[in-house]
Structure 1
């Protein structure tokens, strides 16, 4: 029998069906950082589309103005290039802030999904070996593996044998096994 990842208190052990319902209630698309970042950008999504044309126009216009004022083309080009580079870095930092916010949001969602007693580590026996590093990290409450986490959830939702999981759960937590209501009658 496999070692339990994080034991439940005696009075709070969920049933196998509760764990399965919780598994299928998870939306794997809710872990897509790119989609969440696009939603966070909202109407400001046009900024990344116009970065290169605006940078080129700024570089040319600032170089022409600098050349007109100082009669030094190379110096005005270098100063203009540095200013455009600096403005580009500011825009890039602003754009990356949405990616960071989306990643933090997804990490918080994983932490909510795992709760105090872990979730995915209880399905460890039903995951391929390539997810064992993820299970160990989740047991230690390290939620930084976003893509493997989403893939593991999808794998379980598609390939989990419910009867095998119920048997495994009842062996791991015998107090959750449903009691037989009917008794066998012996005829003499």
Structure 2
């Protein structure tokens, strides 16, 4: 539909008391498009609303993060205590367990000596190798090598010195088998702690600590 100076309209025409009214387009006198103007205003309002929301979100983020400052650094963990001596498997060496192992060896293969002798018997020499293996597998604790002599038929009055010589000889064998000398302490007990028989009394024992 056309009018004097008016353009093509997409709105509808209604009749009222005041005459014909044009909606959503240009009127007969050449008016602007109402729908286009209204749409542009709504778009501008939506853009303004989004800008406000965006500004509010940035302010909230800045507030929550403390103005962009980096969080305080975490406190350094306390230094770990010095590591305890460990065995071959990496577990800490238990002196009580090591002592039990040494006792088990000497119970089945005692380190014994003939009368007045400072060298162990063949069985005793084999036991020394087993004792050395147990000590190498459990490094750390110091070990006392105790020499003993029989109350009689074992050098008479030189029993203490004889027992010390026996202990020193076993300590040398342990060192040769790979046990550090710093771990070993030699003590001659003499005939002070005899066992049931003279043969059993002529011995060397190992004590942890």
TM tier relative to shorter chain: under 0.3
| TM-score normalised according to structure 1 size | 0.27
| TM-score normalised according to structure 2 size | 0.25
Structure that is richer in strand per residue: 2
Structure possessing the higher radius of gyration over alpha carbons: 2
Name the structure, 1 or 2, with higher relative contact order (CA <8 Å, separation 6+).
1
